[in-house]
Amino acid sequence: MSYPAFRFATVRGQAIHWFLGRNCSVKPAQLGWLYLSLCLVTLGIGTFLWFQGAVLVLPFAWLELAAVGVAFLAYARHAADREHISLSGRRLVVETENAGRVERAEFNRDWVRVEPAVDDRSLIEVSGQGRRVSVGRHLRPELRPVLAREIRRALREA
């Protein structure tokens, strides 16, 4: 079976996959190296100033590094957030990962509904068989209707 070109999907054999992820400019490992270098420079300057007689610089440097470390951890925790939607045979599988927690929902292709939760710019709600999953949080709101149409078209044509 041949599928028409999709904007967001990847076709592999008889399966169609949508990979929607957070747009991160820095990977968590790169952020760790950046934080380490920031710590070395800040503590080096703070130590130098400590020996020059400015004793309050070093405690404030530690406080600053702790605050920046907490912010970097919050960023890194959500850097790998993603949504994976796959259509293979008669199954539509939706996997969402948020802060390391993965949730998976499977739907029968014939009984699934794909529609906006509230309006055209809201998250896309995939529902069926008593289950409900919201997807599209990593897309700009104006692109969510395009994704919903694409999933509906793939469900019809599969």
Question: Which domains does the chain possess?
Answer: 9-22+81-157 (2.30.29.30), 28-78 (no CATH)
What's the CA gap between 21 and 26, in Å, rounded? Answer: 14
Q: What is the pLDDT of residues 24-45, one digit of tens each?
A: 888 888 999 999 999 999 999 9
- Check pLDDT > 80 for residue 118: no
What's the CA gap between 79 and 26, in Å, rounded? Answer: 8
Q: What is the pLDDT of residues 53-80, one digit of tens each?
A: 999 999 999 999 999 999 999 988 888 8
- Check pLDDT > 70 for residue 151: yes
DSSP per-residue string spanning 93-114: EEEEEETTEEEEEEEEGGG-EE
**pLDDT reported for residue 25:** 84
What's the CA gap between 135 and 92, in Å, rounded? Answer: 13
What's the CA gap between 113 and 119, in Å, rounded? Answer: 15
Beta carbons of 39 and 65 less than 8 angstroms apart: yes
**pLDDT reported for residue 3:** 53
Alpha-helix runs per DSSP H in the chain: 28-51, 57-78, 144-157
Phi, psi of 142 (to 5 degrees): -75, -15
